[in-house]
Amino acid sequence: MNTLLIGFLSPEGEFTPCRASDHMYIASQIVQRKYHQKTRAHAFLDEKYLLEDKKYVSFPLKGCNFLGNILTDEQRLFLEAHIEDANNEEQKAAIEKILLTDSKRRIERTLKA
């Protein structure tokens, strides 16, 4: 990947990149385009949380956020393929933690089945 790892990764594995300064704006654009919801003025933080609630992986300049229980296969493949593209050690550690947590949850789910 030639750009910084900043943006949003959909459950379908589609990565929407953006500049660090546009992170919240891009969240609002995804919400409008994909979920047909009008955004309110100064509600960018709401859109970011809505995307995370919809199981998106959020990539700010530092770190990586995933509020879902288990990654989709497409998300997992993307993270594994792009972990070395992390912007910094903090983001790389966050991706590693998400992958490890996902692995544990997948094992737990298999054992319960």
Q: What is the pLDDT of residue 54?
A: 84
Q: What is the pLDDT of residue 26?
A: 86
The 10s digit of each residue's pLDDT in 7-50 is: 999 999 999 999 888 888 888 888 888 877 665 555 555 666 77
Q: What is the pLDDT of residue 39?
A: 59
Closest to 5 in 3D by CA, of 76, 61, 74, 67 = 61
Q: What's the residue count for the chain?
A: 113
